[in-house]
Structure 1
Amino acid sequence: MVTMDSEVLRQKLEQLTGKRTGIKQLGRQLSASLFRIGKQDEPVFYEDKLLVPLYESDGRVTVVWVEMEGLTPLEVQLTDYAARNFAIALQATGVKEEGEVEARQLGSWLNSQLEQEKDDIEIPDDIALKGRLFGDTIPFLLSSENVHSPQITYRSLMKLLRSYFEKEILLIPLLEKEWLILARKELLTGGDDKEDEEDNEDDLLAQTCMGLHELIASEWVGVFHLAVAPAIVPVKGLTGSVALLRETIVLGRIFQVGEYIHLPWELHLERLVNSIPVVRRRQLLGQIGDYTSLLADKEMLLTLETFFEMDCNVSETAKKLYIHRNTLLYRLDKIKQETGADVRSFSDAAIVKLTMLLYKVTKRK
């Protein structure tokens, strides 16, 4: 895999020279000034480092760098020669235009930090994409459940995303069949940061998620879950945001069965219930009372879920369920007769809602 080859190159250069090395993507202006036409075969030095170009993508040059201090002229020449030969082989792979090497480098680092439960770590300087992670960015997490279908390639998914997002995006492969999508915040605001836009940001994020999921579902067969979080500055907030998005999809699969778009701000109570130890959940269910028959009744369960979704508004719930208001009142009275809970009162509604969540998470354990 190209990612492993680039890492092997870095390690070998480090062993050869005894100096720190890394792979970095330069900005367009610096790329143009350092790697001018006609100068490609000459060693390039910048900030006491030897820079060797690997390839160019959208005006940005990705380089392997080696610290210069203490190197002899011959060592510099040998290092430059070895790295340039690798660049020729890398360019022959055909992935240079997509920036997949840099993306997989960042993805590997993110996975490593999250495995160690480090969700507040700043992205280090040796991550090639760091220079593109300082602006306000919206993170999306896409997760596939398609076990037997062919794996979606980085190139094909990037092509699809570019057809949807007008702004520049980054696609970061994480675990198998899991991708992080980073889009500039202007996606929502159009560059306008007026305060009244902030009130609608959640709605805009949800709409963007819906459109993106529809596009993916139209292109590929199977089940895909999609989550989005509020805008962050990735260089400092990316690990925490990915941890939140992963947890959101886990909660969505448990509590929102049949839904494939999951929003963290709609899962606060579910997050709390999921954090309760299993033994304690079972104790709570026993103390609250026996709601088994009620929760096993699909019609009653749908009625309750819709009632709570509509903020316990009888008229709106009846409209959403396409039933007469009196039919809904009959069902609510039946629930009261069977359980003693009147869900039209706040305290009883809260208990029933909690019971439903406990039942969903506990019966899957």
Structure 2
Amino acid sequence: MSNRLFQGVIHQMKDAVDRAIGVIDDTSVVIACSELGRIGEVIDSVTTETLSASTPFVINGQTFKSFGTGSSSEYAVFIEGSDDIAQRYAQLLAVSLSSIKQYYDEKYDRANFIKNVILDNILPGDIYLKARELRFNSEVTRVCMLIKVTSKTDISAYDVVQNFFPDKSKDFVISINETDIALVKEIRTGIDSKDLEKLASSIVDTLSSEFYTHCTVGIGTVVTGIKDLARSFKEAQVALEVGKVFDTERSIISYDNLGIARLIYQLPTTLCEMFLKEVFKKSSIESLDQETLFTIQKFFENSLNVSETSRKLFVHRNTLVYRLEKIKKLTGLDLREFEDAIVFKVALMVKKYLSANPAKY
């Protein structure tokens, strides 16, 4: 597509510029030229190293100027001659073609369209119009994943994930910022959350074992219809934020499996503070020392079973009963009673949530 775009511009400019002009790609092949017979020609003297030059360079009586998207040089314009005029023409052509390509990519590039959809940068009424313009299948089943890189390395996690999903017509890997990469993946109908977690696990394992890059992955819900992709993406963001508070050991967090943590995340902080005051009427949660909190955690992990918890804590059963009585005296809640245990468990989660102060989406 870029070849046709460049050729159209070169064709319009050939009468204004009284010299042979053209464009080569990063393999030194002529992809557009005012002399049509040269299209497809390989200019061997231009190497990857010379193409990376930021200033115009002269080879075999022709002036070249590289250009591309971002910091990479994907193309170079060339013009016959090595004088000052040739250099000025080359620089003007490079700037013009770079700007035209950027505009064209933003208008017609599917990945850019998907990025605008998930970030809510496009009006809902325009989504389907744009999708039709791009011949984009709007009604297939897709899911959004958000990959957050938590360790800095020289390896580009974005490039690794892109290579993981080579089908650019169905799967879209989008750079959100320095640490966040969005994956919008087309999936078959009926796929379950375990399959999605396996896919996320393979991404985490590859980045970790082969490239020493650590990351966490948030998985949104599966959606049918392009307009719901923004919701799936926000859910992936929420999954990561909630996981950061309540599941710090896990590297893969699915929105569908957040449970009560999702409910707490959606509550206003004022309501959470009010709840803690109502639960801990006798004394605040801060009055419980670390040993007591550890005992409570183990008691919950062992399904409120006194004998099993005392065995895991390597303490006598009566010692554990004494600790539970002490907790009851401090808080007014008997953790051996199911309802009191639920209230206390939720209160601990609310306290953890307030302390973490996570971002809201």
Scaled by the length of structure 1, the TM-score of the pair is: 0.55
- Contact kept, 8 Å, 1:137 with 1:231, in 2: the verdict is yes
Cα distance 1:347–1:313, how it changes in 2: closer, same or farther (>3 A)?
closer
User: After alignment, is 209-218 or 237-246 more displaced?
Assistant: 209-218
**Deviation of residue 264 (structure 1)?**
1.5
Aligned to 2:172: 170
**Deviation of residue 360 (structure 1)?**
0.2
Q: Could you tell me which of 286, 299, 302 is aligned with 1:292? A: 286
Aligned to 2:301: 306
Unaligned ranges ≥5, structure 1: 10-39, 41-81
Distance 1:232 1:316 in 2: 46
Aligned to 1:279: 270
Secondary structure at 1:363 match in 2: helix
Distance 2:289 2:115 in 1: 41
Distance 1:316 1:150 in 2: 51
**Deviation of residue 109 (structure 1)?**
4.2
- Contact kept, 8 Å, 1:143 with 1:179, in 2: the verdict is yes
Larger radius of gyration: 2
Alignment of 1:8-47 (within 5 A): none
Aligned to 2:140: 135
**Deviation of residue 351 (structure 1)?**
0.7
Q: Deviations over 1:34-86 (max 9, x none)?
A: xxxxxx9xxxxxxxxxxxxxxxxxxxxxxxxxxxxxxxxxxxxxxxxx9xx95
RMSD of aligned alpha carbons:
4.4
Aligned to 1:233: 224
What amino acid does structure 2 have at the position aligned with 1:184? E
Distance 2:319 2:257 in 1: 29
Is 1:342 the equivalent of 2:334? Answer: yes
**Deviation of residue 224 (structure 1)?**
1.5
Unaligned ranges ≥5, structure 2: 10-38, 40-92
Aligned to 1:18: none
Distance 2:325 2:126 in 1: 53
Aligned to 2:209: 218
Aligned to 1:179: 181
Secondary structure at 1:282 match in 2: helix
Q: Deviations over 1:115-169 (max 9, x none)?
A: xxx8x777343257661442122332212233x544726433211345xx9x953
Distance 1:329 1:134 in 2: 62
Distance 2:321 2:125 in 1: 50
Aligned to 2:312: 323
Secondary structure at 1:226 match in 2: strand
Aligned to 2:114: 106
Scaled by the length of structure 2, the TM-score of the pair is: 0.56
